[in-house]
Structure formats: structure tokens, C-alpha cells
Chains A and B, each alone.
Chain A
Amino acid sequence: EAQVTQNPRYLITVTGKKLTVTCSQNMNHEYMSWYRQDPGLGLRQIYYSMNVEVTDKGDVPEGYKVSRKEKRNFPLILESPSPNQTSLYFCASSLVGTAYEQYFGPGTRLTVT
């Protein structure tokens, strides 16, 4: 089944404790991206990647890191999480071109206390 998977789905952590949220897709998509969704602010892009070893900042990259060492994986790293990073996080992927829709993962709900 074609899908984007994220792990973990739920995470509660404390301020300053490094964490990684994994994202994997099995559709051979070049493009992958991370978004966060917050009430009243909607979905905002954090980072994106157009291919292996190519990453770039989205609208809200502060406090996050990403890497793209393999085409299928795009982990999101929070080196020192803070409470304002409490949010619902989505990974997305697609082929490149106007005809291609973005596929989203199921989401990771992160709480930082």
C-alpha cells in the first residue's frame, strides 16, 4: 500500500530533551516536507526536501533540523524542544510537477512540558 508513515504518533517530552520524529514514504517520491498544525494558525511548512541531500527552510524552521540521506526517509529533529513546539506535525511527499498531489502522513502529536 502506498503510504507515508510517521513515528511516533504521540509523544510527550520535557523541555530540552532531544527527539526525532521519523517519516518514511514508499512511493519513490522526490519531494518531502514537514508541516505543523496549530489552532488558529493552520498548517505551516517547517522544512522541505526536493531530493536526497537537498533540503531547504519553509516558513517556520527555527528550532528544527532535518536530513535527507535516503530518498524514502525524512526525519525531523528537535535538538532542544520547547513548549512552543507543542503541535501536531505532518510529513508529506509527492512527485515533482503540477499534476502530482501531495500525500500526508497520519500526524505526530507532540507535547513539550
Chain B
Amino acid sequence: KQEVTQIPAALSVPEGENLVLNCSFTDSAIYNLQWFRQDPGKGLTSLLLIQSSQREQTSGRLNASLDKSSGRSTLYIAASQPGDSATYLCAVSHNDYKLSFGAGTTVTVRA
């Protein structure tokens, strides 16, 4: 059974600092990995998807890397802003039909 771990559980940084969020998974035979953002009481917004054959994906200030051999992915958010405050979830899939989620990292960016 795939176990997905996100460390730290919570993070507080001053505005402008770069954010580094970690995700680890136990079974490296993944299909793809997706990073989501969740605002309190809201749904999940997809940020980046990395296919198993890829090493990284970038979108604006966001960059996600994938190291399948070590079972790790890292989400980097450059020059953080208060609007980046949210919970960030990592999800791993082995097939077309199921995502295994981590518990999330709750980020607070202080103005």
C-alpha cells in the first residue's frame, strides 16, 4: 500500500522567502504525481502534474521536482506572498483510477 508523507505539517515564513515543501512516497512505481492547493473550506486546485517519466515541472513561481528512485518530490514556491497561504497536498497515482494523498503542509506567509 502506498504511503505518502509530507513534512513539515506546517510552515510559517515571512513574505518574499522561498518555500520548500517535501513529499515522500514508499512505492516508487508511480504513474504520476500531482500537487494541489487547498484553501480553508474549499476544494482542491491542481498546481502541477509530473508524469513518471519527467524530472520536474514549472509553472510561474512554482517548480516541482520528482526523484522516483528515492521516492521524493519537492515543491518550490519562489518569492512567497500572503496569497500563497494555504494547505498544499501531494498526491501519487499508480494507475488511472486512484490518487493516494499526503496529509498536507499548511503554509502561512506573513506580510
State which of B36, B51, B97, B102 has its C-beta within 8 Å of the C-beta of A99.
B51
Instruction: Tell me, in angstroms, the Cα distance from A90 to B38 when the chains sit together.
Output: 12
Q: Does B103 make an interface contact (CB < 8 A)?
A: yes
- The smallest C-beta distance from B25 to any residue of chain A, in angstroms, reads 14
Q: Does A33 make an interface contact (CB < 8 A)?
A: yes
Closest to A95 in B: B96
Instruction: Tell me, in angstroms, the Cα distance from A101 to B96 when the chains sit together.
Output: 10
Query: A42 and B102 in contact (CB under 8 A), knowing A33-B97, A98-B31, A102-B34?
Result: yes
Query: A107 and B96 in contact (CB under 8 A), knowing A43-B89, A98-B31, A99-B51?
Result: no
State which of A33, A45, A48, A107 has its C-beta within 8 Å of the C-beta of B42.
A107
Q: Does B109 make an interface contact (CB < 8 A)?
A: no
Say yes or no: B98 contacts A48, CB within 8 Å: yes
Q: Does A75 make an interface contact (CB < 8 A)?
A: no
Say yes or no: A106 contacts B42, CB within 8 Å: yes
Say yes or no: B96 contacts A99, CB within 8 Å: no
Say yes or no: A45 contacts B43, CB within 8 Å: no
Residues of B within 8 A of A (CB): 31-32, 34, 36, 41-46, 49, 51-53, 89, 91, 96-99, 101-104
Residues of A within 8 A of B (CB): 31, 33, 40, 42-43, 45, 48, 50, 56, 58, 90, 92, 96-107, 109
